[in-house]
Amino acid sequence: MTLEIVIRVALYIVLAPIIGGLLEGVDRVISARMQGRQGPPLLQPFYDLNKLLHKQTIVVNSIQVLFIMAYLIFTVFTGALFFGGGDLLLVVFSLSMSEVMLVLSAYSVNGPYSAMGAQRELLQMMCYEPMLLLLAIGFYVAQGSFMVNDLISLDRPAVIALPGMLIGFAFILIIKLRKSPFDLSTSHHAHQEMVKGLTTDISGRDMGLVELAEWYDTTLMMGLICLFFVTADPISYLFGVIACAVIFFLITLIDNTHPRVKAMRMLGLSWIVVLVCAGTNLLILNLVL
């Protein structure tokens, strides 16, 4: 049992950045095709990361570096908690802690673009935090446990009981992954009026670490989608992967077709979607069970 957890966590630590990096590569290729461009090769994100890690790092202060390290470590820890089969609520709490670290690193540099990005990132957190908590609660109500280990060994996929949760989660995923129309705090697209927002004052090795943490984060999010479909039956993992692919493609599509919205519109929209989809789902679940 313990050995199995150790292996799973080790696998996660090794594979998650590969999956995350590949997903970003796919995202860039698809986006390029949607815009009628050739686009970069699939492995471009890895080349980029390699380059970043070998550049000279320019920092604004030493506290900044500390927070970025903490961000990476806590993000990896969060994922390890999830893939090791831990408590979903703890995963959510630990995830928000790691995000706060990134925000603090942006705050610490005392730059206008970073500060703006930090505020916006906090607002984005305020948008998706309720959904993540509701997700954990939804699983608990529908499947009777907060532990990921118990949730993957049931004989009925959670999505049957939690369709609203899945929709709500897919929606906040756009915010979580900072895709347009909700790429307010920082964006991979060139037309960014706030330079690179949150990560403006991060460069070189530190920027590489942030990218790496984001890949871990993306993998964790895909894992959460899978959790809706996975049962004791091994074949169910395939459905999970398909669902991830579909949702990821949809997010890329939306990313390329929707212009950025204003901050308060994002807040209103996301809370309404979460309340209507996830809240109603929970209410009905409570009445049925």
Binding residues (CB under 8 A) for other proteins: these are: 56-67, 69-70, 73-74, 77, 81, 86-87, 89-90, 93-94, 96-97, 100, 103-104, 106-115, 118-119, 122-123, 125-127, 129-130, 133-134, 137, 140-141, 146, 195, 200-201, 204-205, 264, 271, 275, 279, 282-283, 286
For residue 31, the minimal CB distance to other proteins (Å) is 26
Measured from the CB atom, the residue of 55 and 156 that comes closer to other proteins is 55
For residue 263, the minimal CB distance to other proteins (Å) is 8
For residue 276, the minimal CB distance to other proteins (Å) is 11
For residue 262, the minimal CB distance to other proteins (Å) is 12
For residue 2, the minimal CB distance to other proteins (Å) is 11
Measured from the CB atom, the residue of 77 and 216 that comes closer to other proteins is 77
Distance CA 227, CA 233 (A): 13
Measured from the CB atom, the residue of 82 and 215 that comes closer to other proteins is 82
Measured from the CB atom, the residue of 122 and 253 that comes closer to other proteins is 122
Write out the two tokens for 159: 């999505």
- Identify the three-state secondary structure at position 261: coil
- Nearest residue to 136 (alpha-carbon basis) of 127, 125, 145: 145
For residue 225, the minimal CB distance to other proteins (Å) is 20
Buried-state track 66-83, b at ≥16 Cβ within 10 A, e below 16: ebbebbbebbbbbbbbbb
Measured from the CB atom, the residue of 250 and 276 that comes closer to other proteins is 276
Which long-range contacts (C-beta less than 8 Å, at least 24 apart) are formed by 248-254?
248/23, 248/26, 248/27, 248/222, 249/30, 250/170, 251/170, 251/173, 251/174, 251/177, 251/179, 252/27, 252/30, 252/31, 252/34, 252/179, 253/34, 254/174, 254/179, 254/180, 254/181
Measured from the CB atom, the residue of 35 and 56 that comes closer to other proteins is 56
Q: Please give the single-letter amino acid code of residue 191.
A: H
